[in-house]
Structure 1
């Protein structure tokens, strides 16, 4: 299960991704609760969440191009330095009690730009750090940091949220980003992509887009992932409202709900890491897709905190498994020379619309409450899973494990 961690450079990348992911999810919870406390509106939580995720519309393609043009390790270190500096400012404003919603919008956008640039660089670098026979294991373990950090980050800030409020959480996030910067700077592997000198800048820039849109399996898979993220994973902005329904302390309640998501994610992504047979991975992908729709429905009909936590656990388990396997298929299918650009296109589809749907869901929640949003979204995605069976390449992946 942990074979890839025996390789020192991958271990450093894994640790840097884990701490950065933990900081990211801790920020989503603490920042969201601070905005809700100041404004009393889910819509403003949605605006701040949108600001944090909206760079996924623009940053990934540029970051993917840079990841194929420059040393990927150095690019990653620069990104972590920006995130560290951002958090120093955020924590300082919060501790001095001069922070306003407008400050949070601006800082969230800056943090989002760095986060959106981090992912293509890290995913392009990863396959160069381990032998090919361990690639699927490494991709799954790296996905565990992305998904499992939903548990690690919120769990780390629980005591500080209870004692000091969001200010204490921001300090912890700053320390986490310092760890990520330190680990990334110690990676020794030098990794570059390859640009085609026979074509111009624009064609090089669009090479990842052409690969994704021209691939008979990757294109329908990316479309399905896109809808999965829009309909089942854009729930962060409504967490404060849900937390107030089920817990006396809304700030801690939002943290508990995110921890349940993270617990399910971590357990099931580690299970995915030990599955080497592609047919079983394909079966797991289809099952996870179906359950990704069921989780929000359970959370939407919950009438007590226990059922809400169970719904969050299932959401984390199903969503993380689906995203880990889908991401592995895209990474292993991409040529190394353009992998940074391919992964940036993949992340562009994922993150950009998640930002928009977080905002939309928050606005609807202010008028109708969170339950209709969750139930309708979950049901809609279960319908999408059924429709995806009409794609021959996807059906072959689901039931035969074929990557063509």
Structure 2
């Protein structure tokens, strides 16, 4: 299905003569451009799915708790398979991993379109395909992130990571807006478009020529030993541990705002209806795009660990503002602030982890974040239960308050992070 990755004797893109980085510097590299274009399409599909899935489950069950549970189902594979996916990214051809996961996701979208258009869709179909899609994503992410250092010079790494995030956030604006328009005709057309987009993503991925990827000699170490080595690396590298730990706050108590609370706010608080979900997520996408492009424009950042804590605190403040809002303009401002800070936080986190780890461990180190992402189901379940019990506004207030409190605690209890 895919052409074999081009192999060279160099471990990464040759270092170019030093030049001043600009916001879009990394796009000068041919193969990174194909990775980036694939990320654009992949993100468009992802964000349209983020809109259509809660809308579909609400249509089938009319339950806020079920929205939280389906989000939890989507993220559970991160916890179950995330570390194994990191080992796979370090052992096998990362380009081939991307192609296989993209084919799986494309097939799921076309299957869901058929079920919806045939009017035989049931809630269990949503849960099963959501789990399968989440499993595909669990293997896709560490492979994709680990490819970036192979395609750009080291000095452009943060720029490339931030631009990769920008691609996702550009589609956070356009994807939900497109989904919102298509939802006026029903759920089925959204899934059909998703499948077609993934086909284009596979074409872009196949065009990449990936340089040499360091791999352990075949049969020399077991999968279990590879996993142990990743934990030993974190244990002897306090900076990496200090970066991964606080991300737990964002994933558990913060990220459910988009998948659980935004659909509920659109329908129950702001009275915007199903298509309003897409409009609110697009507003968040504007803020996220601003945040990621700002990070891509930075050539040198100091006190980066302290910056991570500031990003988390401002993210929590945005959630608090949104929880009290009953006006569309104020909700949009709160969403833009929240999304901008979460995107800046993740771009800097990913860049630091790739910078601080050796190339042969990039997949495993990036997959350690899956331990945090894998707990999103816990946060989504809590968020759904709080929304069902207290209502969307007070439920979000509780989550935001916990997020802010834990951020302040991390600032005091993690001096290693402040020194990064």
Is the shorter-chain TM-score for this pair beyond 0.5, marking a shared fold?
A: yes
Equivalent pair of 1:260/1:309 in contact (CA under 8 Å): yes
Structure with the higher helix share, 1 or 2: 1
Q: Distance in 1 between matches of 2:241 and 2:394?
A: 30
Residue 124 of structure 1 corresponds to which residue in structure 2? 146
Residue 171 of structure 2 corresponds to which residue in structure 1? 149
Match of 2:119 among 92, 97, 101: 97
Unaligned runs of 5+ in 1: 398-404
1:363 and 2:385 correspond: yes
Residue 52 of structure 1 corresponds to which residue in structure 2? 74
Unaligned runs of 5+ in 2: 1-22
Q: Distance in 1 between matches of 2:256 and 2:215?
A: 35
Change in Cα spacing, 1:218 to 1:315, as seen in structure 2 (3 Å) is same
1:100-131 superposed Cα distances (whole Å, 9 cap, x missing partner)? 11100000011111111110000111100112
Residue 18 of structure 2 corresponds to which residue in structure 1? none
Question: Bigger shift: 332-341 or 145-154?
Answer: 145-154
1:195 and 2:216 correspond: yes
1:374 and 2:396 correspond: yes
Change in Cα spacing, 1:191 to 1:252, as seen in structure 2 (3 Å) is farther
**Number of residues of Structure 1 aligned to a counterpart in Structure 2:** 395
Equivalent pair of 1:121/1:340 in contact (CA under 8 Å): yes
Equivalent pair of 1:73/1:191 in contact (CA under 8 Å): no
Equivalent pair of 1:195/1:204 in contact (CA under 8 Å): no
Change in Cα spacing, 1:193 to 1:63, as seen in structure 2 (3 Å) is farther
Residue 226 of structure 2 corresponds to which residue in structure 1? 204
Partner of 1:377: helix, strand, or coil? Answer: helix
Equivalent pair of 2:284/2:339 in contact (CA under 8 Å): yes
- Displacement of 1:383: 2.1
1:184 and 2:221 correspond: no
Residue 318 of structure 1 corresponds to which residue in structure 2? 341
Give the TM-score of the pair, scaled to structure 1: 0.93
Match of 1:265 among 288, 293, 298: 288
Residue 402 of structure 1 corresponds to which residue in structure 2? none
Residue 140 of structure 1 corresponds to which residue in structure 2? 162
Residue 28 of structure 2 corresponds to which residue in structure 1? 6
Change in Cα spacing, 1:201 to 1:54, as seen in structure 2 (3 Å) is closer
Give the TM-score of the pair, scaled to structure 2: 0.90
1:265-319 superposed Cα distances (whole Å, 9 cap, x missing partner)? 0111101111121217556433312111101111100022222222111111111
Residue 196 of structure 2 corresponds to which residue in structure 1? 175
Q: Distance in 2 between matches of 1:166 and 1:191?
A: 43
Q: Distance in 2 between matches of 1:276 and 1:284?
A: 15
Match of 1:276 among 279, 299, 304: 299
1:305-363 superposed Cα distances (whole Å, 9 cap, x missing partner)? 222222111111111111111111111111101111111112x1232111221122112
Match of 2:326 among 289, 303, 311: 303
